[in-house]
Structure 1
Amino acid sequence: MSVAPLAPTRQAEAIRTWGDALAAGDFVALPAGELAGWFPPADLQAFAASWTDLPRDEMVTDGVHRERRYGRLMATRGPAGEWTFEPLPHLAFQQTAEHIPLHEGKARLFSPIKPEVLTDPVLTALITVDLAVVAAVAPEVTRFEVGLHQMRVIATPDEPGNPTPEGRHRDGHDFIGMHLMGRVNCAGGESVVYRDGEPQARMTLTERLDSLVVSDARITHEVTPTIADGGTGVRDMLLVDINAR
């Protein structure tokens, strides 16, 4: 499956601006107000609905209620700038204890992302945006292994939802795209980016497709707990791990 290069219009201008910001500051915020207009509303709604069918993540404890699926794609850029995506075999997800001490380097086997979701045009278009932004930092790379996490964090009146129970961390990837897919009855959930010698950058993703792209090898990051506000709180995220291959 392939996705055409971004058109040389306002989209391409936005990508250049975001890529320059990533190169200069190691992270960039992509506003939903810009991105949402690039997707047919019905297609975006259908893609977001796939978060209602996630199994519980049994690998987190201490009262954290998180649901999750995981998948992988190989992304290859062609001579005309188009991206081709090839599904990769489902494997356990593993991070080093150096990066995430919480899980002690253990391999964690999550339920796979459904095949029809893994090939959804909205998903591959979002990945294409991430890769186009990353190209400002890594223009020479034409192949990336892409890890994909559909994640839902749930907060109840008795228990806050902790999107990053590991606290401030790196995940051990070259880059990460973070896309909000849904947020209902939530307060909190503030994204925090830490850069050596720079003030903290703090922002809250509130609208569907509010996004961040970060140079994970150069910064650390976390998300503060979400608090149920007016009922059970739900925060849905698509995380895109991007590693040069």
Structure 2
Amino acid sequence: MPNLADLPASPLLNEVRRDGFAFAPADTMRPLLTSSGGLSDWNDFADSWNQLEPDPYLAAKGRFRRRRHATFSALAHGDVTPEPHQPHFQALQYNALQGGIERWFEPIVDTVVHGNSLRTILDFCHAFFGSLAPSVERWHIEVHQFRIEATAGTAGEPTPEGSHRDGVDYVLVLLVNRHNIASGTTTIHAPDGRLLGDFTLTHPLDAALIHDPSVFHGVTPVLPLVADEHAFRDVLVVTFRASPAAAG
């Protein structure tokens, strides 16, 4: 893992500790990521969003959200390790729309799981979130590739469940690409509903870093700028949760 003490990450660490979230523009994220590893396969990594499958749990809206999912684990001072494919689960208290059930999504393909860019992103998250929670011995990590599509007649909904928490400890939302869309503004709220901040992930590697127990987050719907052109928003979401297995 990289030593974040040697990197310009401390302001972001302080923001997350103080406010529960931080916005990191691409100019900040890129050196943080490349200090953890390389992004040599970034073009292939970004292109993999073209192979995502429809979300089958959104019924009629499923065709406007595509995704793949993978699970990893990491010891505090160990490497991030892929785990066997497994379902994504959220309690109803965190996702009233789709919580309480095991959701099986198509797995992230092996070339992405073992590729340079994803490994670099996960190593950065391991170091960053580990610095915020040094007492955690083992992490349960989930990775989601999302593509939100929009048409002239139907807005794309990045967060159809509304402003929410994910039921984890930390979240990274990293923009991979956006094409022909307006809006898609990330909003951060206090538990009482007060707006704490908002920003739009515009450039690849723009990121949000969130302490999930402290704040709620959501993203406004996206609409096409040009009605008859393909319109989409591609993001990578990485969540870190302290594993119960660490108690032993």
Query: Is TM (by shorter chain) over 0.5?
Result: yes
1:20 deviation in Å? Answer: 1.2
Structure 1 residue ranges without an equivalent (≥5): none
Per the alignment, residue 46 of structure 1 pairs with: 44
8 A Cα contact 1:56 1:68, kept in partner: yes
Per the alignment, residue 77 of structure 1 pairs with: 76
Per the alignment, residue 114 of structure 2 pairs with: 119
Structure 1 residue 5 corresponds to structure 2 residue 17 = no
Per the alignment, residue 223 of structure 1 pairs with: 219
Partners of 2:72 and 2:54 in 1: CA distance: 23
Structure 1 residue 158 corresponds to structure 2 residue 153 = yes
8 A Cα contact 2:71 2:140, kept in partner: yes
Partners of 2:140 and 2:48 in 1: CA distance: 23
Partners of 1:41 and 1:90 in 2: CA distance: 25
Partners of 1:104 and 1:75 in 2: CA distance: 25
- Give the SS at the match of 1:45: helix
Structure 1 residue 31 corresponds to structure 2 residue 25 = yes
Per the alignment, residue 107 of structure 1 pairs with: 102
One-letter identity of the residue aligned with 1:233: A
**Aligned-residue RMSD, C-alpha:** 1.9
Partners of 1:67 and 1:189 in 2: CA distance: 16
Q: CA 1:199/1:100 → structure 2, altered by over 3 Å: closer, same or farther?
A: closer
Between stretches 47-56 and 183-192, larger displacement belongs to 47-56
One-letter identity of the residue aligned with 2:199: M
Aligned residues: 235
| Aligned partner (choices 210, 226, 234) of residue 214 of structure 1 | 210
Structure 1 residue 177 corresponds to structure 2 residue 157 = no
Among the aligned pairs, what percent are the same residue? Answer: 29
Q: CA 1:213/1:7 → structure 2, altered by over 3 Å: closer, same or farther?
A: closer
1:101 deviation in Å? Answer: 0.8
One-letter identity of the residue aligned with 1:234: F
For 1:137-164, what per-residue CA distance to the aligned partner results, in whole angstroms no more than 9, with x for missing partners? 3122242111000110001112110000
Per the alignment, residue 246 of structure 2 pairs with: none
One-letter identity of the residue aligned with 1:175: Y
1:6 deviation in Å? Answer: 4.2
8 A Cα contact 2:4 2:10, kept in partner: no
For 1:52-97, what per-residue CA distance to the aligned partner results, in whole angstroms no more than 9, with x for missing partners? 111111111343511110001112233xxxx512111111111111
8 A Cα contact 1:161 1:226, kept in partner: yes
Structure with greater helix percent: 2
Per the alignment, residue 67 of structure 1 pairs with: 66
- Give the SS at the match of 2:57: coil
Structure 2 residue ranges without an equivalent (≥5): 244-248
Partners of 1:134 and 1:8 in 2: CA distance: 13
| Aligned partner (choices 211, 229, 232) of residue 230 of structure 2 | 232
Partners of 1:50 and 1:195 in 2: CA distance: 35
Per the alignment, residue 16 of structure 2 pairs with: 22
8 A Cα contact 2:40 2:117, kept in partner: no
Partners of 1:7 and 1:136 in 2: CA distance: 8
Between stretches 149-158 and 55-64, larger displacement belongs to 55-64
One-letter identity of the residue aligned with 1:125: T
Q: CA 1:123/1:173 → structure 2, altered by over 3 Å: closer, same or farther?
A: same
Partners of 1:179 and 1:7 in 2: CA distance: 19
